[in-house]
Structure 1
Amino acid sequence: MRTARLRTVHPVLWAGWAALAAGAVLCVIGWYGVSGERYAERQLPYLASCTIPGAALIVAGAVLLAHGRGALAAARVEELYGLLVTEPVEEGGSGQAVTSPLAVSGELLMVPGGTLWHRADCPLVAGKAEAVPVDAKVLAGGELGPCPICEPSEETD
C-alpha cells in the first residue's frame, strides 16, 4: 500500500544518480584532456567544457539524492502515521473504505515516567502492563500532555 508520493520520489533519486554518473564521466574526460596538454592555454577548453560542468553535475546529483531520500523518508512517515491513526472499516454495499479513529475509549491511561496521557485503546499504550489510570491531580498540574495520536480530552474521564 504505497502512496502516490512514494512513486514520485523514485524519479528524483534516478535523476540524482544519473547526474552524479554524468558528472563523474565529464570530470574524468576533463582530467584526461588536461593531463595530455603541456600548455595552460590548451588545458582551458577541457576545464571549461568538461571539468567545471562535471563538478556542477556532481553537486546537482548530490542535492537531488538528498532531496529524494528526505522526501522518501517523509512519505514513509506519513504512510506509517496514517496506518497508526486510522483503520479501514468496510461500509455496507458501496465498496468504499471509510476510516475511523482507532482510539475512542473514555478511560485515560499514562505510562509512569512518560510525558503523554492516552485513551485506553490508543495503540501506544494498548496492551502495556505498566500503563496506569491517569490521576486528576496530574492532569490539573499540567505535567502530562495529550497524545497526538488518540487526541484524548480531559472530559472523557
Structure 2
Amino acid sequence: MRTARLRTVHPVLWAGWAALATGAVLCVIGWYGISGERYAERQLPYLASCTVPGAALIIAGAVLLTHGRNALAAARVEELYGLLVAAEPAGVDESRQPAAAPLAVSGELLMVPGGTLWHRADCPLVAGKPEAVPVDSRVLASGELGPCPICEPSAADPDD
C-alpha cells in the first residue's frame, strides 16, 4: 500500500523537498564557514556562495511544495469528479426522467436587511428566517440589491 501511494506523488513535490534539503545544507555550510572567520571581508564569500543561494533554494522549495500540493489536490478533484459523473443509476431511462422542478416559485419577494440579494419567499436562503422582510419597490428600482442566483426572481414578479 505504501508503494502505491509513493507512485502517485507528484514529481514537483520531490523537487521541492530536494530544493529544501539542499538549501538547508548550503545554509549550514555557510554558517559554519562564517563562524570560523573573524573579519567581515572573509565572511562575505561564505554569504555569497552558500548562505544566499541556500536561502533562495529554501524559498524555491517552499514554492514547489505549494505548487505540487495544489496540483495533486486538483488531480484528486478531477478524479472524484470523473467518478461522480460516471456514477449514474443503473437501469434509468433518460427519456423518462421528469424535468427539474423550479427551486422556488413564490411571487412574494423578500430581502435580509444588510444583504445584497433579493429572493422569492420560498427560496432556501431566506425560508424560515424571521429577519427577512418584504422588498420595497424603491430598493428594487435603485439597483441596491441584485437577484438571487438560486431562486432567480425577476423584478416583474408581484411583490405587494
Tell me which interval the TM-score lies in, with the shorter structure as reference length: 0.5 to 0.7
Match of 1:116 in 2: 117
Match of 2:33 in 1: 33
- More deviation in 32-41 or 120-129? 32-41
Residues in 1 aligned to 2:115 and 2:142: alpha-carbon distance in whole angstroms: 15
Match of 1:83 in 2: none
Residues in 1 aligned to 2:11 and 2:101: alpha-carbon distance in whole angstroms: 34
The 5 Å alignment of 1:100-115 reads: 103-107=103-107, 108-115=109-116
Is the contact made by 1:30 and 1:47 (CA closer than 8 Å) also made in structure 2? yes
Q: Tell me, what secondary structure is at the counterpart of 1:25?
A: helix
Is the contact made by 2:33 and 2:43 (CA closer than 8 Å) also made in structure 1? no
Residues in 2 aligned to 1:123 and 1:26: alpha-carbon distance in whole angstroms: 58
Query: Given the superposition, is the C-alpha separation of residues 63 and 41 from structure 1 closer, same or farther in structure 2, using an over 3 Å criterion?
Result: same
- Name the larger-Rg structure: 2
Match of 2:92 in 1: 93
The alpha-carbon deviation at position 48 of structure 1 amounts to: 4.4
5+ long unaligned stretches in structure 1: 1-9, 76-89
Which structure has more strand as a fraction of its residues?
Answer: 1
Residues in 1 aligned to 2:123 and 2:90: alpha-carbon distance in whole angstroms: 23
Q: Tell me, what secondary structure is at the counterpart of 1:128?
A: coil
Identical columns (%): 74
TM-score, length basis structure 1: 0.52
Residues in 2 aligned to 1:156 and 1:12: alpha-carbon distance in whole angstroms: 54
Match of 2:77 in 1: none
Match of 1:57 in 2: 57
5+ long unaligned stretches in structure 2: 1-9, 75-88, 95-99
Letter in 2 for 1:128: K
Residues in 2 aligned to 1:132 and 1:22: alpha-carbon distance in whole angstroms: 62
Query: Given the superposition, is the C-alpha separation of residues 27 and 154 from structure 1 closer, same or farther in structure 2, using an over 3 Å criterion?
Result: same
Is the contact made by 1:102 and 1:122 (CA closer than 8 Å) also made in structure 2? no
TM-score, length basis structure 2: 0.51
Superposed CA RMSD: 4.3
Residues in 2 aligned to 1:52 and 1:30: alpha-carbon distance in whole angstroms: 9
The alpha-carbon deviation at position 56 of structure 1 amounts to: 0.8
